Structure 1
């Protein structure tokens, strides 16, 4: 017979082993949460706090309530930055999603030779240093008449453009830079989606008499929809946070001109050029709301959420 004391001792050992396992599990995941709290959570909370303060980084903070939001929302340059962000985002992001799907279909063809080479080549711009990208595009879209972009225009009988000095020339050049850098990223995601579709579905559809177009409409595109929603979401967020491309393309004059001033550039200018951390934090919160609204709309549209009706038969 097992005595009561032995039962209590076994129970204590069991509980202590459970606690050890629990503590060890928390220790394994603790580094991620500590780093996230220091690098991600604390700056976000502090930024929300700063949005209601007037502070230049050195003097004591002064609570101003919603004044920072009023200053930002009444500033014409802010709305110019919003306009630039949306226009450049549409011009640089929408085409890359369509072209990315087309390139993914081409790279997924079984008879295509050197497929692995083309896949690596199309992904290279994504991992290319922004310094190298800036050098390449500053040469391609130079204001000089002999630049490659102006030479191409001359082949069609068009006048040369001062790309870095004109309103739409700057927007087009930056949009092409965004397209060139990110189209390979979306292509690889679509390619992964195409390769996840089982060939058995196509074989069954072929036996049932479905042609290639019907297979594309009723098999490929519906099964590729989650990947499309994912890329649209990431592209929307990335387009609204555009900063690196216009900054490196315009160089030192990026923050003194409004042709390609984006919302993040406006935020950066307030914080680190004008030392107005309160308005910069208010801009960050406004940008967060804009991103949430645009992302929700795009996700609903691409996932078929708008206008969706449940089909059924009432009995």
Structure 2
């Protein structure tokens, strides 16, 4: 038994130091007043009251939810469709397309932000504004306008993560027996009916996984808006997320207590949203089966 514990000990030691201890310390710190250098002062629920009464916190939560929905929901739907086509035997060069779709996920975040910064520049000659001009719309100041920043960041999130979800769905599709599609074809079911009544129901475990991970990732959005907006990211509220809010409190304002309180509130929101999405996803189709 001792040798077995020694084999698994490195993981638990690293997890305790890097994962568990910071989480517990953050919860304790949420009830303290601390600037990171002096002594802590217990203030009870005061940090939570300050955060909940701050309009910027609610604005950051609104931004997080909106950009999460705009960037996450479409990528799940498009991911299933792309995976379905990549799994079809009639499509040639499938390995090339699979690698191409997955490339954005492994691309450096800085490189992605630089490319999108050029595409969504406020200049009229930028690619996004040029396309809008062709469609008869006025140029948009993508980095300073309310919805311009949200749309640009949401597209960045969509482009970066759609390939990741596609690969997960593709793995799920390859686990579905081909006999089911052959039997459905013999019974006269078309491709759309096969997709809705065979592919989607059997992909439910993979859909639940991606919905859970996407929900958690969307509520923890930080890197994309921070890198895209640059040094002004923490000075404006057009695209400030909850994680950016607590980062600003901790490292810009030196208020680690309110930052930890915001982190605890975010944890509660993530647990609630992930549980709700998982429940809704796992319960889809039960009424049709009479459960």
1:300–1:306 contact (8 Å) kept in structure 2: no
Count the aligned residue pairs: 291
| Aligned match of 1:114 | 93
Q: Secondary structure at the match of 1:301?
A: helix
Indicate the larger mover: 290-299 or 215-224: 215-224
Question: CA offsets per residue over residues 141-160 of structure 1, 9 Å max, x none?
Answer: 00111000000001101111
Question: CA offsets per residue over residues 127-178 of structure 1, 9 Å max, x none?
Answer: 1001101110110000111000000001101111111111110111001000
Structure 1 position 56 matched with structure 2 position 35:
yes
Shift of 1:229: 1.0
Return 5+ residue gaps in structure 2 as ranges.
none
Return 5+ residue gaps in structure 1 as ranges.
1-21
1:247–1:254 contact (8 Å) kept in structure 2: yes
Question: CA offsets per residue over residues 249-282 of structure 1, 9 Å max, x none?
Answer: 0000000000001000001001111111100110
| Aligned match of 1:37 | 16
Partners in 2 of 1:155 and 1:169 — Cα distance?
18
Partners in 1 of 2:232 and 2:285 — Cα distance?
42
Aligned to 1:171, which of 150, 157, 168?
150
Structure 1 position 216 matched with structure 2 position 188:
no
Indicate the larger mover: 96-105 or 66-75: 96-105
| Aligned match of 1:7 | none
Shift of 1:124: 0.5
1:108–1:195 contact (8 Å) kept in structure 2: yes
Partners in 2 of 1:131 and 1:310 — Cα distance?
47
Shift of 1:308: 4.8
CA RMSD of aligned residues (A): 1.5
Partners in 2 of 1:197 and 1:60 — Cα distance?
59
Partners in 1 of 2:130 and 2:188 — Cα distance?
50
Q: 1:309 to 1:218 in 2, by over 3 A?
A: closer
Question: CA offsets per residue over residues 38-67 of structure 1, 9 Å max, x none?
Answer: 000000000011000000011110000000
Partners in 1 of 2:250 and 2:27 — Cα distance?
14
Matches within 5 A, 1:1-315: 22-304=1-283, 308=287, 311=290
Q: 1:305 to 1:95 in 2, by over 3 A?
A: closer
| Aligned match of 1:13 | none
Partners in 2 of 1:271 and 1:307 — Cα distance?
45
Partners in 1 of 2:101 and 2:168 — Cα distance?
12
Partners in 2 of 1:210 and 1:140 — Cα distance?
43
Partners in 2 of 1:309 and 1:210 — Cα distance?
18
Q: 1:48 to 1:99 in 2, by over 3 A?
A: same
TM-score scaled by structure 2? 0.96
Question: CA offsets per residue over residues 85-120 of structure 1, 9 Å max, x none?
Answer: 001111111111111111111111101111101100
Shift of 1:212: 3.0
Q: Secondary structure at the match of 2:278?
A: helix
Which structure: larger Rg?
1
